[in-house]
Amino acid sequence: SNFVISFFNFINTPTEIAFQASGKPSVGTKISIIQILIIASTIYPLTVVFGLTGTISSVFLSLICTTPISFYYGTKLMKCSLKEVSQPIIVPLISSVSMIIIISGVKEYLLSNVSFIWFGGLVLFGIIIYIGILLVFERYSNYDIFTLIKRIAD
């Protein structure tokens, strides 16, 4: 769950920086206030019912609710469409989430004890899954991963 919260923070950081750089820090401040209000109204009940999981869920809920707002105002600020912003993110996101789910399932249901060798095997298996999913997108959509990699490398 810490990974998921970090992921949302990673996604939201560029828009927060854009708000600051464009001279509109009030947008980021308002989004932060919404996050605080969601946390303040949900943290106690969720913690009482679910313990530490409820506390983390409260923070996660605030991020889920405010990420679309951040994206909306970020795309408006940059004068681009949501598709232009999300296209480079969505396929790696799907690949990463799929890899995490598959690796977690393999570890949970097939491996009771993970040694160093099994850990290396899981890492290799994860890389193969990730690249495989990217190649499926490359084959059946107009994602064009190789052009994207060249643009990033340059």
**Residue 144: DSSP 8-state:** -
Q: What global pTM score does this model have?
A: 0.60
Q: What is the pLDDT of residues 45-95, one digit of tens each?
A: 999 999 988 998 898 899 899 988 988 888 888 888 877 777 767 777 788
User: What is the residue whose two structure tokens read 């949900």?
Assistant: 42
**Side-chain half-sphere exposure of 39, counting CA atoms within 13 A:** 13
Per-residue tokens: 17: 């920086």
Q: Which of 62-66, 81-85, 99-103, 127-131 has the lowest average pLDDT?
A: 81-85
What are the phi and psi torsion angles at 136 (to 5°)?
-65, -45
Q: Which range, 65-74, 107-116, 145-154, has the best average confidence (pLDDT)? A: 65-74
State what percent of residues in the chain have pLDDT above 90. Answer: 20
